[in-house]
A and B are shown apart, each in its own frame.
Chain A
């Protein structure tokens, strides 16, 4: 970002002030996440930088909270992690299938009332979670699915599908429909055409939608707070409970694991997005 020689002093001062402001905003965005990492390695029981930590003394650091997270006797993290993964897995599959199929229909130029259907299908993303949670809780209680895995999976499918619908319809906007017609004219049936031609082309969009659905389910806490029972507790529930009681270093350890996970998901989502743009021939 070097400036040409002819720029005036006024402009230079303005330019560097602007860059400083941007730097501060980026710092505001990202720094809060990194405060958690060192604290999770704290040897002491407080959420505070001890003198030893600040002096970078190895004795100030330890892995005891990670040990506590995994082996702690009274710790619910094992059960919570198992539940979270099972629920997120099935919710992702459900959202991805329902969402992708619906997106195929929505992108067809023969679909009537497209905007109205789209608005309805993505409404779970817009309606405040507390309202969705209340409504879904009444429903699940009525059909006897409250506090069951099935109930939570269904609720998370509701919340996850809008993301799949949005990402897949976005991928389908640049889709060249002549390839499917070519396949049909060569004698392929619709299912075969979908599996062999359409799906591979829209796969990046489908996978990034699936990633969104997975993260939505894995992080979701408001609706689960209404639906979860003792046996169906999840990681977000346990974090919520822990944060309401007191900040413990074990929570910092769990949070660190979650940050690492989201970094991995971010990287794969970015790679997918670029691959999708390349496949569809969009150059930026």
Chain B
């Protein structure tokens, strides 16, 4: 073989010229993806990162009470802190009073421990009358809570710049005044229940969607085209209809004077004056979510079943299997990829559902998303909302990662 290189028409070795062309194509492909990628990076990925950051960021109060926190750092949390801590507190609070910016720390400290609101307000009102020296006594004189170790401990707990306290709160834990992690008081343990309820509802919705979707997907996949196209509309029409429309139709159906209750009364299952509550509880959430998410189970199942040749079942039967055995040993295993895809999709959607539980769920049927919305819009504890959101996001992304491993994102089909 000659060592001479093959040259292209312009005298450049073919290999180099090919590599150049390949590189140009690669750059072209990247440039095509770049606009959307950059757009999402700026408007979506960074904001989600920012949300993560917000859930652990606790610098605002550190900036407002700098002297206090430096002084309280040396305190061991066992007995009441010494004079320098109170002197520093006096310095910070009177500065805040002068600038009228103490409103923010009231809200922040009240998250740490209830009762700080009146404590700070009363102290700030009287702080101008403080005399120099012996601040500890004067503070306790204004409000006895300054002499209680729980309040001083809570103040110390607020001092680090970064804190994962919101995450602890998300699973019903908290710091005590010595920074040990302990359980919340019994009447405050609401988040574990919520997480469990969210998982439970998502799990059962997925199971029921599967039970309902499997027979009809099989029917759709085996019927002749002209019938199955017509029946497919029954699946696709709800899929394309506004979520609020579908939820409102469930509100009509499930209301106390609604058709389903009418039917129950007519069948004699309940007396007219004792109609069962079907809405504003977990039953409403569950039934409505199952119907709304059913198409997301049917479509992947259908597209998998469509590819299974009917002759396989015939072969199984001709070899002596009963229809049931043929189904269990041949057909069902072949549909497992579709079951996996549909179930993960429904589960992912169900776990973050907000609108339907908010409208038909009431208090006992609300899910974790509703709590996030509550903290965003009503309690305005944004960092806690961000922490709950991050926890939910990590869960969903884990499932998405599994989905990607099992099914592949490029295999998601729509309609």
Contact = CB atoms under 8 A, between A and B. Distances in A.
B50 A112 contact: no
Contacts of B352: 127-131
A33 B236 CA distance: 12
Contacts, number: 264
Interface string B21-62: 010011011111111110110011111101100100000000
A33 B44 contact: no
B201 interface: no
A219 B247 CA distance: 12
Interface stretch (B70-78, B168-176, B248-256): B248-256
A130 to B, nearest CB: 4
A25 B216 contact: yes
B215 A21 contact: yes
Interface in B369-400: 369, 372-373, 376-377, 382, 385-386, 389, 392-393, 396-397, 400
Contacts of A218: 242
User: Which DSSP category, helix, strand, loop or mixed, fits chain B's interface?
Assistant: helix
A262 interface: yes
Contacts of B412: 122, 166
A263 B295 CA distance: 16
Contacts of A154: 43
The bracket for how many chain B residues form the interface is 35 or more
Contacts of A219: 242-244
A221 B250 CA distance: 18
Interface stretch (A55-63, A64-72, A73-81, A134-142): A134-142
Contact of B51 (A33, A118, A120, A134): A134
Contact of B359 (A22, A30, A243): A243
A130 B354 contact: yes
User: Which DSSP category, helix, strand, loop or mixed, fits chain A's interface?
Assistant: helix
B237 interface: yes
Given A119-B404, A126-B400, A134 B372 contact: yes
B35 A29 contact: no
Nearest to A215: B240
Interface of B: 22, 25-26, 28-37, 39-40, 43-48, 50-51, 54, 212-213, 215-216, 219, 223, 225, 231, 233-238, 240-253, 255, 257-259, 291, 294-295, 306, 323, 348, 351-355, 359, 369, 372-373, 376-377, 382, 385-386, 389, 392-393, 396-397, 400, 404, 408-410, 412-415
